């Protein structure tokens, strides 16, 4: 990999909270023939870069549609990436003249906002859902474009958690270091940056073992703050800047950074429902009389909440507590058999979700049909 590509990847990673647009259009990876697979994605620069890396050595087409420079999951959930964008990309690339196959592979995580049937009706291409993670694309292609159940789940491995720590840690470290430097000099600022980065990294690394809600999170998060203060103190000593005021600034900055994260740690990641949104507690609900057993919901659920009951030829909700309210199942159900129900009995139906497309991973904050979601 060239130094330029490494620097570009680092820039895209550090600034991944911001939209980064890659050019749209049809790109060959390797030397694809007219019968090669066509994989669709959004034009988020980091995703395009990673897909090209994950697919290196293969011969496939990559159709990059306009997602406004936002990653597929967030863009689809927030209404910035829809079937209209995919249809426009198919037409602009004159895809039907360039490939023989009539199949598009869509990223599973686009199912929150991209309606499969609308693409098929408008383009004549059949849509197949790919795996949730780009890392599984190779195995998916080797298997004859077939997803296995474990590839539908969104994972949050250590690598992704450390990346998340870097994304949140560096702005927090920079900000607190600037304030600390103003109060106690540059050595204090540098030590605070070390302390904040260390405690934030420790928190993300420990996520699978941390209680993220409830009072127990406060002392635990404080412990990570203390760990950060320890490392910051070592840095301060190495820089020769230890004295009472500097150390006090360091301690306060590290604890404040951890306390800010403890308020809604879940809201800093797309893997969990934000604590604020969880307060209203909408639950996924299935109307069995409507379910025809198409099981499209099972194919797009990233949390294994739904399963096909072969005996009854119907879908069942097997693990409701795992639901992150992404609404992918509701958007794709051909019978409108799924919906959200809030504690007060009010419901959000499929039609509302398809129209508003503001189903950003449980953070519903719009007033729809006179009902107010829990994020409001
Ligand atoms: S809303 Fe819940 S059940 Fe439906 S796809 Fe998302 S996580 Fe799965």
pLDDT digits (tens, 9 = 90+) for 325-365: 889 999 999 999 999 988 888 888 898 888 876 554 444 33
Which position has the token pair 């039907």? 96
pLDDT digits (tens, 9 = 90+) for 75-104: 998 888 999 999 999 999 999 999 999 999
Say whether pLDDT at 53 is over 80.
yes
Atom 7 in ligand 1: residue holding the nearest Cα: 323
- The confidence score (pLDDT) of residue 195 equals 95
Residue with the larger pLDDT of the pair 90 and 312: 90
Is residue 250 within 8 Å of residue 191, measured between CB atoms?
yes
pLDDT digits (tens, 9 = 90+) for 169-219: 898 899 999 999 999 899 999 999 999 999 999 999 998 888 887 888 889
Confidence of residue 276 (pLDDT cuts 50, 70, 90): low
Whole-number Å distance between alpha carbons of 70 and 81: 9
Whole-number Å distance between alpha carbons of 91 and 344: 45
| Ligand 1-lining residues (CB < 6 angstroms) | 284, 300-301, 303, 305-306, 323-329
Whole-number Å distance between alpha carbons of 277 and 285: 17
CA 126 to ligand 1 centroid distance, Å: 23
CA 341 to ligand 1 centroid distance, Å: 13
pLDDT digits (tens, 9 = 90+) for 116-127: 999 999 999 999
Number of H helices, E strands in the chain: 15, 12
Whole-number Å distance between alpha carbons of 250 and 241: 11
Domains for the chain: give ranges and CATH numbers: 3-152 (3.40.50.11600), 158-268 (no CATH), 275-372 (3.30.70.20)
- The confidence score (pLDDT) of residue 19 equals 85
**Region at 237 (left for phi over 0; alpha for psi -120 to 50; beta for the rest):** alpha
Confidence of residue 267 (pLDDT cuts 50, 70, 90): confident
Among residues 73, 68, 74, the alpha carbon closest in space to that of 45 is found at 68
Atom 2 in ligand 1: residue holding the nearest Cα: 323
Please state, rounded to an integer, the average pLDDT across all residues of the chain. 88
pLDDT digits (tens, 9 = 90+) for 24-40: 999 999 999 999 999 99
Point out the ligand 1 atom lying closest to the alpha carbon of residue 317: 3
Which position has the token pair 């019978």? 335
Please compute the mean of the pLDDT values over residues 8-35 and round it to a whole number. Answer: 88
Atom 5 in ligand 1: residue holding the nearest Cα: 301
CA 302 to ligand 1 centroid distance, Å: 7
Say whether pLDDT at 371 is over 50.
no
Whole-number Å distance between alpha carbons of 375 and 85: 28
Confidence of residue 366 (pLDDT cuts 50, 70, 90): very low
Instruction: Out of 277, 284, 352, 361, give the residue to mutate to test ligand 1, the one with the largest number of ligand atoms within 8 Å of its CB.
Output: 284
Is residue 137 within 8 Å of residue 54, measured between CB atoms?
yes
Please compute the mean of the pLDDT values over residues 223-229 and round it to a whole number. Answer: 93
Instruction: For residue 53, give both structure tokens.
Output: 């890396």
Say whether pLDDT at 50 is over 50.
yes
């Amino acid at each position: 990999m060239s130094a330029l590509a490494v620097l570009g990847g680092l820039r895209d990673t550090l600034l991944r909270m911001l939209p980064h647009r890659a050019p749209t259009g049809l790109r060959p990876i390797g030397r694809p023939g007219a019968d090669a697979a066509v994989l669709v994605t959004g034009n988020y620069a980091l995703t395009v870069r990673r897909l090209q890396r994950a697919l290196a050595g293969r011969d496939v087409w990559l159709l990059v549609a306009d997602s406004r420079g936002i990653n597929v999951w967030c863009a689809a959930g927030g209404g910035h990436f829809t079937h209209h964008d995919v249809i426009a990309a198919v037409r602009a690339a004159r895809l039907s003249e360039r490939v023989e196959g009539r199949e598009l592979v869509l990223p599973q995580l686009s199912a929150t906002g991209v309606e499969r049937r609308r693409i098929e009706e408008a383009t004549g291409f059949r849509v197949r859902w790919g795996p949730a993670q780009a890392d599984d694309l190779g195995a998916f292609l080797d298997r004859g474009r077939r997803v296995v159940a474990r590839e539908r789940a969104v994972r949050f491995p250590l690598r992704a958690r450390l990346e998340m720590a870097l994304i949140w840690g560096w702005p927090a470290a920079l900000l607190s270091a600037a304030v600390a430097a103003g109060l106690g000099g540059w050595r204090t600022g540098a030590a605070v940056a070390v302390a904040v980065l260390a405690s934030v990294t420790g928190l993300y690394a420990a996520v699978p073992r941390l209680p993220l809600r409830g009072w127990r999170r406060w002392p635990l998060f404080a412990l990570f703050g203390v760990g950060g203060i320890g490392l910051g103190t070592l840095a301060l000593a190495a820089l020769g800047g230890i004295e009472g005021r500097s150390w006090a600034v360091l301690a306060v900055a590290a604890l404040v950074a951890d306390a800010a994260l403890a308020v809604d740690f879940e809201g800093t990641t797309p893997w969990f429902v934000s604590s604020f949104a969880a307060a209203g507690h909408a639950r996924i609900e299935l109307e069995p009389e409507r379910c025809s057993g198409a099981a499209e919901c099972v194919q797009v659920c990233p949390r294994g909440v739904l399963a096909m009951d072969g005996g009854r030829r119907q879908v069942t909700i097997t693990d409701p507590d795992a639901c992150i309210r992404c609404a992918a199942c509701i958007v794709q159900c051909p019978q409108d058999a799924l919906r959200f129900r809030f504690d007060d009995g009010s419901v959000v139906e499929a039609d509302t979700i398809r129209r508003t497309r503001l189903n950003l991973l449980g953070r519903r904050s719009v007033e729809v049909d006179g009902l107010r979601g829990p994020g409001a």
